[in-house]
Structure 1
Amino acid sequence: MTAVPNPDRADTTDRLGTLDIMLPHYGDTALMQAAVRSVLDQTDKDWRLTVVDDGKEEGVPEWFASLGDTRVRYQRNERNLGITRNFRKCVDLVESPYFTMLGSDDLLLPTYVETMRAAVAAVPDAAIYQPGVEVIDEHGNPSTSLGDEVKKRLYAPKNTGRRLVLSGEPLAANLLGGNWLYFPSIVWRADAVKGISFREDLSVIQDLALIIELIKRGEKLVVEPVTAFRYRRHSGSLSSAEAATGGRFAEAIQFFGEVARDLDRHGWPKAARAARLHLSMRLHALTLLPGALRRPAAVRRLLAYALTSSR
């Protein structure tokens, strides 16, 4: 994985413009409101928040109306679209050159927009900008997991205090081995994402599929060392629920096998091999076994996934 350090001083040209913050919502109203407040608290006020509500909770439209902020736009889907179609709708609604897809249970630190503006100005030709992230639990307290620690120590680049620019087959192989990115924290270049968007046949690994396709097309990833985002990891998330039953891994087997064949055709054999092995996710399946012992079918699925590489 080639890493190119960039100067700490950002170009003074403002390339970010107004940041579109897209918030596809479904679930806990209180957590969503906390996420919205974290946007309102930004030190850099040049942002626009668009909330696309895929639920039916009472009082939510009224709460948004009470904010009285013209930068906040709210709409509720007439029918439930599901996670991926709601993501795709959010991408379609992006108007600015750059956007982020904020999770409705995550939080921006007050300097998020300011930090990402500097990152985009410093490296304007990238498509993916990953800030520093603090992981929190359901209650907002700092947290960690075995998976987070493995990815941090084995796959993620070390934080040297300088921005890094990563690209090409080494980056694809690295992420397919262990995806250390935090999808809701990323700033995306809109034109690059609109040309691909999210795959409708994937529900919990669609972010990695999008990222690998962008890398394959020659796009760059910027790693911003400044911590600007709080990512909430808790047992109530869709990915956690599907992982516990083994459902997440059925999707992963399909994806990794498909992307391995695609990368072979693309002439990236190292990345294809990393996709077939996908060691990080297989190890993750093993860590879930103790919690699945009372469900024999889930145990069988988890073991089958952990012990089998994709073809």
Structure 2
Amino acid sequence: MTAVDTLDIMLPHYGDTGLLQAAVRSVLDQTDKDWRLTVVDDGKEEGVPEWFASLGDSRVRYLRNEQNLGITKNFRKCVDLVESSHFTMLGSDDILLPDYVATIRRTVAAVPDAAIYQPGVQVIDENGAPSTTLIDEVKRRLYAPKATSRQVLSGEPLAANLLSGNWLYFPSICWRADIVKEISFREDLSVIQDLALIIEIIRRGEKLVVEPTAAFQYRRHSASLSSGEAVSGARFGEARRFFLDVADQLDRHGWPKAARAARRHLSMRLHALSMVPGALRRRRSGTIRTLLGYALSTSQR
């Protein structure tokens, strides 16, 4: 990314208007002003178009879908609207720290031939306070690289690592636009489409850069789509189908270690097991059976 490039920040929205406004304000507060924000609203909340119009900032583009597209189709629409060489798909409940754009532009300039850039992330709760969850501790301790300086990762070791436990934070990532436009998000996936895209990018020989500088706040709260589907157990059926399918693809690609990691998908199994106490408290017997069946299954097909 050269000094003249503008970072496209794409924001697919559906949900809480207050959190959306906080996310937008975090973009407006960037120290590096060379960005363009596109919000694609998949909801119908009153007053939102008027609020965006009141900002009076030519770098902010607001679009509202005539009909609800759903999460994956809205992601795909955002990708189609990207105009710059690099972009971020910001979650509408997440926050950019003030130096996010500056950090990303500096990192891309240092490693211009990569396709995925992961900055340092802070996890916050519904109220914006620092949060420590089991999921994030497992990511940090078991799977994420112990990066105190910038690292460049690629190939089968990276794919195997991510398929064992996905330690990336999707809304914080900066993507190279050309490769994402070529692949885009799979329409048959709703909660694991980010990992599917990442693995395909890696399979094609592209690089991932880890930049440890904290630049992003990722919000974990029970109202998120992924959390809701995890509580019901729905996400794990989709996950199992993805892992088994991608294992076959990686075997054909000549990456047996990554294929084995996909078939085991240990982190996702442990995640399902961790949801059982919540299902017990809610007395959801069907969900309990689904979660245990997924977590304890020995089938590799």
**TM range, smaller chain:** over 0.9
Displacement of 1:115 in angstroms is: 0.4
**Paired residues of 1:15 and 1:124 also in contact (CA < 8 A):** no
Displacement of 1:151 in angstroms is: 1.2
Cα separation, 2, equivalents of 1:304 and 1:62: 48
Most deviating of 142-151 and 231-240: 142-151
Corresponding residue number in structure 2 for 1:178 = 165
Corresponding residue number in structure 1 for 2:291 = 302
Corresponding residue number in structure 1 for 2:223 = 236
Cα separation, 2, equivalents of 1:150 and 1:53: 33
What TM-score comes out, normalization by structure 2 length?
0.98
Displacement of 1:308 in angstroms is: 1.5
Cα separation, 1, equivalents of 2:194 and 2:157: 18
Corresponding residue number in structure 1 for 2:271 = 284
Q: How does 1:214-229 map to 2 (within 5 A)?
A: 214-229=201-216
Per the alignment, in what secondary structure is the counterpart of residue 248 of structure 1? helix
1:193 and 2:180 are equivalent in the alignment: yes
Per the alignment, in what secondary structure is the counterpart of residue 24 of structure 1? strand
Deviation track 1:92-129 (CA, whole Å, cap 9, x = no partner) reads: 00000000000000000000000001100110000000
Cα separation, 2, equivalents of 1:165 and 1:159: 10
Cα separation, 1, equivalents of 2:67 and 2:289: 36
Cα separation, 2, equivalents of 1:55 and 1:98: 26
Per the alignment, in what secondary structure is the counterpart of residue 297 of structure 1? helix
Indicate which of 186, 194, 203 corresponds to 1:207.
194
Displacement of 1:16 in angstroms is: 7.2
Per the alignment, in what secondary structure is the counterpart of residue 11 of structure 2? strand
Corresponding residue number in structure 2 for 1:98 = 86
Corresponding residue number in structure 1 for 2:110 = 122
> In the alignment, residue 110 of structure 1 is paired with which amino acid?
P
Cα separation, 2, equivalents of 1:159 and 1:275: 24
Cα separation, 2, equivalents of 1:261 and 1:147: 27
Corresponding residue number in structure 2 for 1:70 = 58
Cα separation, 2, equivalents of 1:185 and 1:148: 15
Unaligned runs of 5+ in 1: 1-12
Displacement of 1:14 in angstroms is: 2.1
What TM-score comes out, normalization by structure 1 length?
0.95
Cα separation, 2, equivalents of 1:235 and 1:17: 37
1:257 and 2:257 are equivalent in the alignment: no
Cα separation, 1, equivalents of 2:135 and 2:86: 29
> In the alignment, residue 147 of structure 1 is paired with which amino acid?
I
> In the alignment, residue 246 of structure 2 is paired with which amino acid?
V
Deviation track 1:57-104 (CA, whole Å, cap 9, x = no partner) reads: 000000000000000000100000000000000000000000000000
Corresponding residue number in structure 1 for 2:261 = 274
Cα separation, 2, equivalents of 1:253 and 1:221: 25
Q: Taking every aligned residue pair, what percent have the same amino acid on both sides?
A: 79
**Paired residues of 1:15 and 1:120 also in contact (CA < 8 A):** no
Corresponding residue number in structure 2 for 1:52 = 40
**Paired residues of 1:131 and 1:228 also in contact (CA < 8 A):** yes
Indicate which of 117, 137, 154 corresponds to 2:142.
154
Cα separation, 1, equivalents of 2:177 and 2:246: 23
**Paired residues of 1:106 and 1:232 also in contact (CA < 8 A):** yes
Go from structure 1 to structure 2 and tell me whether the alpha carbon gap of 1:234 and 1:242 turns closer, same or farther (over 3 Å shift).
Answer: same
Cα separation, 1, equivalents of 2:138 and 2:90: 24
> In the alignment, residue 90 of structure 1 is paired with which amino acid?
C
**Paired residues of 1:151 and 1:179 also in contact (CA < 8 A):** yes
Cα separation, 2, equivalents of 1:169 and 1:35: 35
> In the alignment, residue 280 of structure 1 is paired with which amino acid?
S
Per the alignment, in what secondary structure is the counterpart of residue 195 of structure 1? helix
**Paired residues of 1:177 and 1:280 also in contact (CA < 8 A):** yes
Displacement of 1:298 in angstroms is: 0.1
Per the alignment, in what secondary structure is the counterpart of residue 55 of structure 1? coil
Unaligned runs of 5+ in 2: none
Per the alignment, in what secondary structure is the counterpart of residue 57 of structure 1? coil
**Paired residues of 1:100 and 1:187 also in contact (CA < 8 A):** yes
Corresponding residue number in structure 2 for 1:7 = none
Cα separation, 2, equivalents of 1:73 and 1:32: 14
> In the alignment, residue 303 of structure 1 is paired with which amino acid?
L
Q: Count residues in correspondence.
A: 298
**Paired residues of 1:151 and 1:178 also in contact (CA < 8 A):** yes
> In the alignment, residue 30 of structure 1 is paired with which amino acid?
G
1:163 and 2:170 are equivalent in the alignment: no
